Amino acid sequence: MPEQMIEIPMDKENEAFFEWSAKEELRIQGCDSCDRLRFPPRPICPWCHSTDSSWRVMSGRGSIWSFAVTHPPLLEPFLSRAPYNVVVVEIEEDPLIRLIGNVVEDRKVGLEFVKPDELRIGAPVRAVFPVVEGEPRLLRWALEPG
Amino acid sequence: MTQRSLQDRTAIVGVAQTRFAKKLEKSEEELAAEAILAALDDAGLKASDVDAVSSYTMENLEEVSLAKDLGFGDLAFFSQIGYGGGGGCATVGHLAMAIATGVANVGVAWRSRKRGSGGRPWAAGVAGLRLPGSEQVTATTWARPYGVSRPADEIALLASRYMHESGAGREAFAEVAMAARQHANKNPNAIMYERPMTMDDYFASRWISEPLCLFDNCLETDGAIAVVITSAERAADCRKKPVFVHSAAQGLPQQHHHMVNYWAEDPIGAPGRACGKRLFEQSEIKAKDIDVVQIYDAFTPLVLFSLEGYGFCERNEAAAFVKGGTLGPGGSLPLNTSGGGLSEGYIHGMNLVAEGIRQMRGESTSQVPDAAACLVTSGDCVPTSALILRAA
């Protein structure tokens, strides 16, 4: 059941993130009282306890905090993609906001994973939102020069 | 000892387990019953003496089933600990607190699991991403769509970062795997009893989630384990030498998020650090006094994180600490002396509790001479728990 593995269950807190991804924007929830960003999204600010928040546009720039290379045994659709990279990216605006993803070639359509030997911790990356048939539009990352 | 301390006020008086295997015919209910009755017999107590039970939230068997099956007395205390493999030591810790405060008298902690022949929780697709009975989704939602689909992938990302920060190589992971295997090779009940492993075998094994290879991953095992605990006073009348619960603690660090845990300020080993701080604050026994350790080893890097978190070495120094057989038979800090999750069997860390008890009784197949204090930990990288056991 490939679509089941990729399908994202929505709740009141996480759906905005994926709706913005579908519109090709990386947005992170920020507190409207103390202005601090927080992730994963939640209904209350852990630092000032305000319940007012909004989704802030990010630059889309970040760097690789960690990466791994995934091998079988896996379920589809991941099995047919293996081995593939998975990364954690810290974003430029707040290094404590770390997002899980993949580093892919910068294509408008389709997923082509960057080879693991091209990855290193600290490498700069940029948010991209390739269209993948039959899957929700997700945030991915492309390597930046540097 | 302060008046509020748990120190040595309760003791483990019974321990038993079923056979461990990749596949057992008995059901989880039958396996639990077998282990619990054997543990009560080990203690010289009756099922009707039991008035407290504790297990994991991931345990499929409910208290009511066991209480009816085995004819327990009226239960006055029953608890379930969350966060998977983080909960094992807390089952004993909760019972120790209940008994030390007079809430209950005789407690049973157990875990029964058919993970070897049963399904994998991570294979449940989208259903597995929603919390049971809740509209909330789990932290896994942020990982699964990108192909971070298994616990090994989640830990691989932390392991990779750890290697970057500490300079540790895969040799450090191999030291952990080798120590567990060498101990298993002395334990006839271990799945890997007759399967020796060399460093070359380790480095020749296939990748699962780089930087983790096959031998960095625990086994998948069917089996059950039960532990019986009572007051130190009552323990004096039991069949076997008591093993005192010297300290017990849990740890859920600030801004922690389950095993998909990349959002705390310093996520690597944070649960162990938080738990270890409380554990040793309440303990007369310090890290330097510990003779033998049973550290949760679903994945080898977790052991390195815990060695640092519980204060056996400084942060980022675990690779140097474990080098050269420190953790193996005859080493200065023998680890997982029954073979642990890596090589004895993976009963969600409850087999580590059982082996800690055997070490304090002098019954281990890799007995550490004159061992008087044992640290047992549950899963690092999830909200966790730990025990310091003291020999009588």
CA distance B298 to B340: 9
Q: CB–CB of B209 and A71 under 8 A?
A: yes
A22 lies within 8 A of chain B by CB: no
Select from B245, B236, B223, B227 the least CA-distant residue to B39: B227
Token pair for residue B161? 């970062």
Cis ω for the linkage preceding A41 (within 30 of 0)? no
Query: Of the given ranges (A8-12, B49-53, B156-160, B175-179), which has the lowest mean pLDDT?
Result: A8-12
- Per cent of chain B over pLDDT 70 is 95
- Cα B347 to its chain centre, rounded Å, is 8
CB contact under 8 A, B145 and A6: yes
Give the DSSP letter of residue A58: P
pLDDT at B85 over 50: yes
Chain A residues with beta carbon closer than 8 angstroms to that of B127: 4
Closest-CA residue of chain B to A64? B161
Smallest Cβ distance to A121: which of B125, B135, B164? B164
A132 touches chain B (CB under 8 A): no
Read off the pLDDT of each residue in B316-337 and give the average, rounded to a whole number: 98
Determine the average pLDDT of the residues in A98-102: 96
Contact between residue B95 and residue B230 where contact means Cβ atoms under 8 Å apart: no
CB-closest option in B136, B146, B210 to A102: B146
What ipTM was predicted for this assembly?
A: 0.96
Rounded-to-integer distance, Cα B9 and Cα B11, Å = 7
Place of tokens 């608890």: B79
Note whether B137 contacts A9, CB cutoff 8 Å. Answer: yes
CA B296 to each of CA B219, B307, B324: distance values in angstroms, whole numbers, following the listed order: 13, 11, 21
Q: Which residue has the tokens 């209480």?
A: B67
> Among candidates B348, B224, B238, which has minimal Cα distance to B10?
B238
Chain-chain contact of A40 with B130 (C-beta, under 8 angstroms)? no
Report percent pLDDT > 90 for chain B.
88
Among chain B residues, the shortest Cα distance to A65 is held by: B161
pLDDT at B120 over 80: no
Q: Do A11 and B136 touch (CB under 8 A)?
A: yes
Instruction: Identify the CA nearest to A65 among candidates A33, A36, A92, A31.
Output: A92
* B146: annotated active-site residue: no
A84: nearest CB among B147, B158, B262 = B147
Helix (H) or strand (E) holding B244: strand B243-251
- Specify the pLDDT at position B126: 57
A113 touching chain B per CB within 8 A: no
- Is B262 catalytic? The answer is no
Catalytic residue among B83, B162, B202, B346: B346
Do the Cβ atoms of A87 and A103 come closer than 8 Å? yes
Among B83, B162, B296, B310, the active-site one is B296
Residue with tokens 């499929």: B60
- Band the pLDDT of B134: cuts 50, 70, 90: low
Question: Most A CBs within 10 Å: which of B134, B146, B170, B210, as the mutation test of the A interface?
Answer: B146
Predicted confidence at residue B245, as pLDDT, reads 98
Has residue B141 got a pLDDT over 80?
yes
Question: Residue B209 in contact with residue A68, Cβ under 8 Å?
Answer: yes
Q: What are the phi and psi torsion angles at B127 (to 5°)? A: -60, -35
**Rounded Cα gap, residues A97 and B262, in angstroms:** 8
* Beta strand residue intervals within A1-117, DSSP E: 27-31, 53-57, 61-70, 84-91, 94-101
Burial of A50 (0-12, 13-18, 19+ CB in 10 A): middle
Place of tokens 């290193």: A120
**What integer pLDDT is reported at residue A13 of this predicted model?**
86
Backbone phi and psi for residue A141, each to the nearest 5 degrees, phi listed first: -130, 145
Per-residue DSSP letter, B338:
T
How much is the average pLDDT of B205-234?
98
Percent of chain A with pLDDT over 90: 84
Q: What number is the average pLDDT over the span B344-372?
A: 98
* Three-class secondary structure of residue B107 per DSSP: strand
Q: Which residues pair with B125 in a beta bridge?
A: none
Is the CA virtual torsion B14, B20, B26, B27 positive or negative?
positive
Considering Cα of B253, then B259, then B264, then B270, what sign does the dihedral take? Answer: positive
With CA atoms as reference, the chain B residue closest to A79 would be B147
Residue showing tokens 């039959």:
A134
**Lowest mean pLDDT across A12-26, B274-288, B304-318:** A12-26
Average pLDDT, rounded, for chain B:
94
The pTM for the full model equals 0.96
The dihedral through the CA atoms of B184, B189, B192, B195 has a sign that is positive
Q: Is B262's CB within 8 Å of A10's CB?
A: no
Nearest to A46 by CA among B263, B133, B131: B263
**Residues β-bridged to residue B10:** B231
* pLDDT of the residue at A140: 97
For B249-264, what is the mean pLDDT? 89
- SS3 of residue B256 by DSSP: coil
CB contact under 8 Å between A71 and B159, yes or no, is no
Chain B nearest-CA distance from A74, in A, is 8
Q: What is the pLDDT of residue B130?
A: 64
| Cα–Cα distance list, A127 to A102, B143, B145 (Å) | 10, 16, 16
> Which residue, B114, B126, B207, B123, is CA-closest to B159?
B207
Contacts of B147 in chain A (CB under 8 A): 70, 74, 78, 81, 84, 86, 102
Q: Which of B300, B298, B337, B334 is nearest to B319 (CA)?
A: B300
Q: Read off the pLDDT of each residue in A81-95 and give the average, rounded to a whole number.
A: 96
pLDDT at A1 exceeding the cut of 50: no
Distance from CA of A33 to the nearest CA of B (A): 20
Residues of chain A found within 8 Å of residue B209, distances taken between Cβ atoms: 68-71
Tell me what pLDDT residue A27 has: 98
Q: How sure is the predictor about B125, in pLDDT bands with cuts at 50, 70 and 90? A: low
CB atoms B207 and A69 under 8 Å = yes
Residue A91 CB coordination number (10 Å): 23
Instruction: Determine whether the interchain pair A40/B157 forms a contact, defined as Cβ–Cβ distance below 8 Å.
Output: no
Q: Cβ contacts (< 8 Å) between A40 and chain B: which residues?
A: 139, 142, 257, 263
State residue A2's pLDDT score: 45
